[in-house]
Amino acid sequence: MLVTAYIAFIFLLGICLGLEFSACRSKSNDNQCTNPAFLKFQLSASSVLFGLVSTSLADKLGRKKSCVLFSLTYSICCLTKLSRDYFVLIVGRILGGLSTSLLFSAFEAWYVHEHVHQHDFPLEWIPATFLQAAFWNNAIAIGAGVVAILVAEWCGFGPVAPFMVSIPFLALTGVFVMRNWNENYGSPKSKISKTCIDGLRCLVSDHRIVLLGTIQALFESVIYIFIFLWTPVLDSYGPPLGIVFSSFMAASMIGASLYRIATSKKYHLQPIHILSLSVLMVFFSLFMLTFSTNPGQENPSESFLAFLLIELACGLYFPAMGFLRQKVIPEKDQVGVMNWFRIPLNLLACLGMLILHDSDNGTGTRNMFGICTALMVTALLAVVRLFTMVRNDAELKLTNSEEQQQTPEL
């Protein structure tokens, strides 16, 4: 398993770099806790709680202050990993949920406000910026996995060491934001209750939004559960977990690169096609995992391959889903609708963690993958229904200018 992980990492990184260089060239030419599953449940539960208010909190407190608050709360969350006290670990998980909610709301809200209102840049540049950010996020994550294995295993500092190493980077992020960013706020008249009510009205008024929300809740809840399960599935076979994580990030980067290539002028695939493919890939991967994690018949290499396919599908899914959400959900209702999307998403992840907590290790893991497979069958049905509804909808197709922006220079 050790050799397999390293070979896969080097191979995937090579493919990823090859795809990116090819795209650029074509562009120029043209813890000790008895209940670890319950701790993971609390992370998802806190995300349910804070996910509904994080956007409004950022609007009221200020997006810049909220980004600094993220750096502070996640640094404290990392410090709690040093404790063996169960209550301290619970507090850390709650802070982790708050930090995650701020991470996925405050930074994006600050950027969009600066892009549109402060600098008056064209709206068409926003997707290209997010693609750039996704690429570099994956690239840095690959490096982070290597650093994690370096400090945890090669230097012998143990599994908590990567959390400690991350604290200086979080502090630097907070200092950079404080010194270089302008403050901006949301609408002073906006209220959480009104935002949620308007979002619900928008949600129930358009079947396309309901289907998108269903697909997002099912797909991303399964991804949350996968994040919690891949380590116990592979750990007993002794792979370098940091290298495994870097391999996952390389696979995700390959998926994002393939999305840009598939939606370019040359191939002219549409985001709805990519979304359908990504859901199908995750379904197939989970089906593989129900066999490769069968107690007494485990196959770690097959499980590792299935995990890589899931990450590859994520690289395809997120830009496709982001494009479709932007087109289907009115801008004024996006915050409220996204709040409603997060509720079933996190509740499904919480339910999965509770089911896993009440099961024995081997059978519980296999059963959880079986449940996730059933969820993806439902997601597939929703994708088929959505595809039938929008296949002739010109609004949900990439224009020529948008196709050119799918392959920005790096």
Please compute the mean of the pLDDT values over residues 318-347 and round it to a whole number: 79
pLDDT at 225: 87
Least confident of 48-62, 148-162, 304-318: 48-62
Provide the sign of the torsion angle of the four alpha carbons 52, 107, 138, 130, taken in this order. positive
Please compute the mean of the pLDDT values over residues 112-135 and round it to a whole number: 83
pLDDT at 336: 73
Q: How confident is the model at residue 364 (pLDDT cuts 50, 70, 90)?
A: confident
pLDDT at 112: 85
pLDDT tens-place string over residues 220-243: 889 988 988 898 888 888 888 888
* C-alpha dihedral (337, 342, 348, 353), degrees to nearest 10: 180
The token pair at 113 is 């406000």
Report how far apart, in Å, the C-alpha atoms of 54 and of each of 47, 92, 101, 126 are: 9, 18, 6, 22
CB-facing half-sphere around the CA of 362: CA atoms within 13 A: 11
Least confident of 95-109, 125-139, 337-351: 337-351
Residue 152: which of 243, 76, 43 has the closest Cα? 243
Residue 86 has pLDDT above 50, yes or no: yes
In angstroms, the CA 204 to CA 189 distance is 24
Domains, in order of start, for the chain: 34-181 (no CATH), 190-405 (1.20.1250.20)
Please compute the mean of the pLDDT values over residues 207-230 and round it to a whole number: 89
Rounded percentage of the chain residues whose pLDDT exceeds 70: 78
Q: What is the mean pLDDT of the chain?
A: 81
**Ramachandran region of residue 296, left (φ > 0), alpha (ψ -120 to 50) or beta?**
left
Q: How confident is the model at residue 47 (pLDDT cuts 50, 70, 90)?
A: low
Predicted TM-score (pTM) of this structure: 0.80
pLDDT tens-place string over residues 17-30: 666 566 555 555 54
pLDDT at 32: 44
